[in-house]
A and B are shown apart, each in its own frame.
Chain A
Amino acid sequence: MDYYWRCWVFWHLCAIWNYGVNSLKLTTLHIEKHTVRGNNSLLECRFDLEGEALYSVKWYKDGHEFFRYIPKDYPSTQTFLLPGVKVDRRHSNESQVLLTDLTLASTGRYRCEVSAEAPSFQTVSEHGDMVTVALPNEGPVITGGRPRYQVGDKVKVNCTSGLSKPPAHLTWFINGEQVNSSFLRGPFKSYPEEEGLERAILGLEFQVEPKHFKSGDLKLKCLATIATIYWNSNEESVEGEKPQRAPVLEVKDTGHNSRADRVQGQSLH
């Protein structure tokens, strides 16, 4: 009684006070930025009702509702079909939704909207973007290299990543140093194949200089990465002209967090 009387008198003040103090808050929204195709992902949405009764929690992907939690309904949860969205209702409730069997279509903006009960139906919402990734089926491949190079020779090689979505990000290293972009050609994308999978191609062109052999062989490495969830590389060693030895192609698997793409050695003969 006392509260309403005061608010009736200080109409605006109370309104501000109401919003400022006695209002619904969304405390946590957790959405994985990148997920791997076929995996599951848990979407979390936590809120503080601040004394209000909960009317609904709604989850949207790209504006389309795919899950709702309404405590007064029976059942209190309801899911709606969306491509790439497969909700595990058993592990979903007012504060989380478990998506299973992620596909490339799972990529999108996920929004959590929480509404309090009547009459004011205070509502808060927040969103996060998730990209579901199809990892490359193989590591990057270096092509176009010769066994031997003399100082002054022109090196012209390509690095091609495996099929993935999105396409992998390629980077060249010479003797362990990242190559200046002025020596790069590309990156190019291959024509998309099924499910929109693509290969990335990055060319490297430069003239052999004596410094390239300062510490013995010339080492060319191509690194393929996708966000933070994929890391794989391939390296070639080239002998100088003077030792007159048959070039030895040495391949090292440098990927450390990858799912073990094979290291390829390739002879250019």
Chain B
Amino acid sequence: MTSSSNWSVSTDDAVSVLGFTAKLPCDITPPEKDDRPTLVLWFKEGDHVRPIYSYDRRGANEFRPKHWADESFLGQRAEFMAKETPTHLRLDRIRESDRGTYRCRVDFKKSPTRNSKVNLAVIIPPQRLSVLDEKGDHIQNYILGPYNEGASVNITCIASGGRPQPRVIWWQENNLLDDSWEVLSENRVKNVLWLEKLQRRHLKQVYTCQASNNEIVAPISSAVSLDLNLRPLWVKLLGENRPLSAGQAHEIKCEAVGARPQPQMSWWKGSTPLKKAKEEMSSDFNRTVSTLRFVPTMEDSGKILSCRASTPTIQDSMMEDGWKLNISHIPVVALAMGGSLNASGIKEGVDVYFECNIKSNPWVYRVTWRHNGEMLYNNRSVGMILSNQSLVLQSVSRASSGIYTCIASNQEGDGESNPLYLDVKFIPVCRPGQQKVIGVARGEIVRILCEVEANPPNIDFSWKFNSSRETIDIEPNHYTVEKTRSLFGFTPMTELDYGTLYCWGKNVLGKQKEPCIYTVIPAGKPDAVRNCSITNLTVDSLQIECMEGFDGGLSQEFFLELYDADSRLFISNTTSTVPWFFISDLSSGQNYEIIIYATNSKGVSDPTILQFTTLKASMRGLTSRDNPPLMLQLTPLISTLVGIVAALTLVALIIILIMRIRESSDDEKSHSKMSSEAVKESSESAESIEKNPDIIPQNNEYSDGEEKTFESFNTRLYPQHLGAEKSSIPKEELTYAELSHASSVYTNMLSQQPQHCIDPLQYSHLDSSLCHVTAETPLICTSARESTMVPIREGQPLQQCHWTPQQKQQQQQQQQHHVVTATRF
């Protein structure tokens, strides 16, 4: 038999959640104070006659109530909480089967029994949430997307299980977004969240789906975070668009902000893509900076350098920023002749105009002009006019020839143009700096080199000889021509053969206006050096500087001999092409004597004697460079000697004069074939020769006498030394054997090779019976200062080959070329 459900008693409601605890209230307070509950019974309606729980305080149990629970229904899950207020039956780990109506019967000792009912509702929470994307796929890792900016998305949330059916709601943070759920089936409730036109602000927003059917336990929820692909907010080239130097590496940075994921960045020059640049992403992944290493060229000026960034997944998301390039560079300069001028066809006197074409950024602040490396300046007086980019040379001269460049300068540097060679054509002119006076002894061959300057240098030469008696055109077969040089050689045999030679060059532009003039004079020994001064005198060295005297028409050398002034002993000697000497390794505080003389192939000059005393060692401190050069006075002894020599010379000159006058009659006979004009002038010519104190007569008689004079003079001074030197000189080496005696004192010096000799020249073989010249000899030697003709030591046959005024007609008759041609100069 089952108990009836029709108990008309008060009814409470209780709610619990599956697995949680339920409290079933039951008031056991007695209605009267002196009463007490004795027994509490709990029944579950619809079940059996047995109660499910009893709380027994009857009799002996009054202070130790007995709890009893039905094992099969409640087990250990229930306890009657008699001491709590309100008193209730606590039911743990609620099961679904616990749902139902419970009746509590309270028996009191005195009062009527109290029955009350509790309806227990058991809530089953929703079990599971599924969040699905618009394709119905489960969302992995709780990240939804990525979606492109602007896309619309629906997110479906489905709650499974739960009784009563749960409410399914979408939240974003604390904002309720969507509470419109719909029931799919008994077990499934869904809510679809629609997000329209996703924007940047939606990025990483968290959307939470929540399902709940009670207020007791926390709702179950599932959150997804929205991931978006975003187009860049902006692309910007960093820094200012400054001018860039061509050829230099520049780092240009470009930032792309706001793109997601990392944007694709590229660099363009105009429409040309540039090489991949280095990219760096900021720590917040919001900003990407691309660094381009850019080496601009001049041609890049005006082009647009742009940086682009795009989000690959979003179409038309490309943004760009560009700079119009301003490339600064060293001026590029091209030099050209102005107008229709032909650089190779300019004649002297013509106006020339150069144009300097400049390409430059920034524009040049200066244009300079150079001629053979030398800076040019505006000078209207010489017809040089420099304007901005042009150079006008008015009435160019041959000095204007050479390489012209223009140099344009800007902040980037200097740009030099191509060299332009200005070739000014001009009529030959005599080359300056030639030896104009040439000394030669009678019977000696002399070679006169006429050098001219001309452009073009293809020159026809013509020579004239003007003696005191006549003027003769020299036949071309007597001289050689090699471009701008012509060599004429002859052997003066008489006084009439001395005179002036004129040489003209002629090129396509015309004939030389002023001839080159060479005076051939009888050669003599050189003059003594003058104005000697001692500088830098120290304890053991000194320096001597003298001025050279007339060289006698030939190249001269300078000799120095050092003697101990006290013992008169020879110490050392030295030679030089200039009268400058440095003597070292001297003893301190000692008296020395120095003899300096010049020598050429005609003889030796008068000696110049100097005496000096080296500084004492203790005086060393006094010597310094600042000391003025110590001018040595000729000692009284020297003065006396000079006086004697002067007197002797005067005597000798008188003798020579007498001799010359007597000899001139012989000369006249030998030169009888020459023109009568020359004869008239013979007295003048002779006179001029006699005036020259350096002329050394070729007559052996005079030379013997002179030699003896020198010898006696020298021997008296340095008998031992001269004797020793004399024997060591081989006379055969000298062409001028007669001089070898006179110069025997200095032959050791003559025998030495002149410095800076030109390589031996090969004389060409001439197919002539008369001229068999096969000598390899130094023809021309140069000193450091200038080129001079020196005597030929060997090759006597040459004398026959050379023209002499006496031979002239004779050779013409022979119809032969007796010319020595120097193949190389």
Q: Does A118 contact B (CB under 8 A)?
A: yes
Chain A residues closer than 8 Å to B275, beta-carbon distance: none
Q: Does B4 contact A (CB under 8 A)?
A: yes
Contact mask A99-119 → B, CB, 8 Å, 1/0?
Answer: 000000000010100010011
Among A63, A119, A123, A124, point to the contact of B68 (Cβ < 8 A).
A119
Q: A119 contacts B66, CB within 8 Å?
A: yes
CB distance from B351 to the nearest CB of A (A): 137
Chain B residues closer than 8 Å to A120, beta-carbon distance: 50-51, 54, 68, 70
Q: Which of A21-29, A31-39, A133-141, A243-251 contacts B (4 or more CB under 8 A)?
A: A21-29
Q: A65 contacts B112, CB within 8 Å?
A: yes
Q: Does B72 contact A (CB under 8 A)?
A: yes
Q: Does B6 contact A (CB under 8 A)?
A: yes
A-B contact count (CB 8 A): 73
Chain B residues closer than 8 Å to A127, beta-carbon distance: 4, 6
Among A12, A66, A123, point to the contact of B41 (Cβ < 8 A).
A123
Q: How far is the CA of A197 from the CA of B39 in the complex (A)?
A: 43
Chain B residues closer than 8 Å to A24, beta-carbon distance: 49
Chain A residues closer than 8 Å to B113, beta-carbon distance: 58, 60, 65, 68
Q: A118 contacts B66, CB within 8 Å?
A: yes
Closest residue of chain A to B47, judged by CB?
A19
Q: How far is the CA of A49 from the CA of B275 in the complex (A)?
A: 105
Q: Does B502 contact A (CB under 8 A)?
A: no
Q: How far is the CA of A240 from the CA of B709 in the complex (A)?
A: 229
Chain A residues closer than 8 Å to B9, beta-carbon distance: 63
Q: A119 contacts B72, CB within 8 Å?
A: no
CB distance from B564 to the nearest CB of A (A): 154
Q: B72 contacts A123, CB within 8 Å?
A: no
Residue of A64, A66, A121, A126 ringed by the most chain B CB atoms within 10 A: A121
Chain B residues closer than 8 Å to A64, beta-carbon distance: 112
Q: Which of A46-84 contact B (CB under 8 A)?
A: 56, 58, 60, 62-66, 68, 72, 78, 80
Chain A residues closer than 8 Å to B7, beta-carbon distance: 63, 111
Q: Does B107 contact A (CB under 8 A)?
A: yes
Chain B residues closer than 8 Å to A63, beta-carbon distance: 7-9, 115
Closest residue of chain A to B114, judged by CB?
A65
Q: Does B149 contact A (CB under 8 A)?
A: no
Q: Does B43 contact A (CB under 8 A)?
A: yes
Closest residue of chain A to B3, judged by CB?
A125
Q: B8 contacts A121, CB within 8 Å?
A: no
CB distance from A26 to the nearest CB of B (A): 6
Q: A124 contacts B3, CB within 8 Å?
A: yes
Q: Which of B1-18 contact A (CB under 8 A)?
A: 1, 3-4, 6-9
Closest residue of chain A to B67, judged by CB?
A119
Contact flag A126-B54 (CB < 8 Å), given A23-B49, A56-B107: no
Chain B residues closer than 8 Å to A122, beta-carbon distance: 49-51
Closest residue of chain A to B108, judged by CB?
A65
Q: B72 contacts A11, CB within 8 Å?
A: yes
Contact flag A19-B49 (CB < 8 Å), given A12-B72, A64-B112, A118-B56: yes
Q: Does A227 contact B (CB under 8 A)?
A: no
Closest residue of chain A to B107, judged by CB?
A56
Q: Does A260 contact B (CB under 8 A)?
A: no
Chain A residues closer than 8 Å to B43, beta-carbon distance: 123
Closest residue of chain A to B112, judged by CB?
A65
Chain A residues closer than 8 Å to B48, beta-carbon distance: 19, 23
Q: Does A155 contact B (CB under 8 A)?
A: no
Chain A interface residue count: which class?
20 to 34
Closest residue of chain A to B61, judged by CB?
A118
Chain A residues closer than 8 Å to B70, beta-carbon distance: 120
Chain B residues closer than 8 Å to A109, beta-carbon distance: 6, 8
Q: Which of B109-128 contact A (CB under 8 A)?
A: 110-113, 115
CB distance from A235 to the nearest CB of B (A): 43
Q: A121 contacts B112, CB within 8 Å?
A: no
Q: A80 contacts B112, CB within 8 Å?
A: yes
Q: A19 contacts B3, CB within 8 Å?
A: no
Q: Does A229 contact B (CB under 8 A)?
A: no
Closest residue of chain A to B103, judged by CB?
A123
CB distance from A19 to the nearest CB of B (A): 5
Closest residue of chain B to A20, judged by CB?
B48
Chain B residues closer than 8 Å to A119, beta-carbon distance: 54, 56, 66, 68
Closest residue of chain A to B39, judged by CB?
A121
Chain B residues closer than 8 Å to A78, beta-carbon distance: 110
Q: A123 contacts B4, CB within 8 Å?
A: no
Chain B residues closer than 8 Å to A111, beta-carbon distance: 4, 7
Q: How far is the CA of A25 from the CA of B2 in the complex (A)?
A: 9
Closest residue of chain A to B7, judged by CB?
A63
Contact mask B623-646 → A, CB, 8 Å, 1/0?
Answer: 000000000000000000000000
Closest residue of chain B to A114, judged by CB?
B49
Chain A residues closer than 8 Å to B54, beta-carbon distance: 118-121
Among A26, A56, A80, point to the contact of B1 (Cβ < 8 A).
A26
Q: Which of B33-59 contact A (CB under 8 A)?
A: 39, 41, 43, 48-51, 54, 56, 58-59
Closest residue of chain A to B10, judged by CB?
A63
Contact flag A125-B4 (CB < 8 Å), given A63-B115, A118-B56, A118-B66: yes
Q: How far is the CA of A126 from the CA of B58 in the complex (A)?
A: 25
Among B4, B50, B111, B112, point to the contact of A19 (Cβ < 8 A).
B50
Chain A residues closer than 8 Å to B50, beta-carbon distance: 19, 23, 120-123
Q: How far is the CA of A124 from the CA of B51 in the complex (A)?
A: 10
Q: How far is the CA of A62 from the CA of B112 in the complex (A)?
A: 13
Chain B residues closer than 8 Å to A25, beta-carbon distance: 1
Contact flag A15-B6 (CB < 8 Å), given A65-B112, A118-B54: no
Among B3, B8, B59, point to the contact of A123 (Cβ < 8 A).
B3
Q: A121 contacts B1, CB within 8 Å?
A: no
Q: A123 contacts B107, CB within 8 Å?
A: no
Q: B1 contacts A126, CB within 8 Å?
A: yes
Chain B residues closer than 8 Å to A58, beta-carbon distance: 113
Closest residue of chain B to A63, judged by CB?
B8
CB distance from A61 to the nearest CB of B (A): 10
Contact mask B241-254 → A, CB, 8 Å, 1/0?
Answer: 00000000000000
Among B51, B59, B111, point to the contact of A121 (Cβ < 8 A).
B51
Q: B6 contacts A124, CB within 8 Å?
A: no
Chain B residues closer than 8 Å to A68, beta-carbon distance: 113
Q: How far is the CA of A65 from the CA of B7 in the complex (A)?
A: 12
Q: How far is the CA of A130 from the CA of B404 in the complex (A)?
A: 147
Closest residue of chain B to A81, judged by CB?
B112
Q: How far is the CA of A26 from the CA of B49 in the complex (A)?
A: 11
Closest residue of chain B to A125, judged by CB?
B3
Closest residue of chain B to A78, judged by CB?
B110
Among A15, A65, A80, point to the contact of B72 (Cβ < 8 A).
A15
CB distance from B65 to the nearest CB of A (A): 12
CB distance from A3 to the nearest CB of B (A): 16
Q: B6 contacts A123, CB within 8 Å?
A: no
Q: B49 contacts A118, CB within 8 Å?
A: no
Contact mask B67-83 → A, CB, 8 Å, 1/0?
Answer: 01011100000000000
List 12 A–B pairs whose Cβ atoms lie within 8 Å, in order of A's numbering.
Answer: A19-B48, A26-B1, A60-B113, A62-B8, A63-B7, A65-B113, A109-B6, A118-B54, A118-B68, A123-B3, A125-B3, A126-B4
The 7 A-B residue pairs whose C-beta atoms are closest, nearest first, are: A65-B112, A63-B8, A65-B113, A80-B112, A119-B68, A122-B49, A120-B50
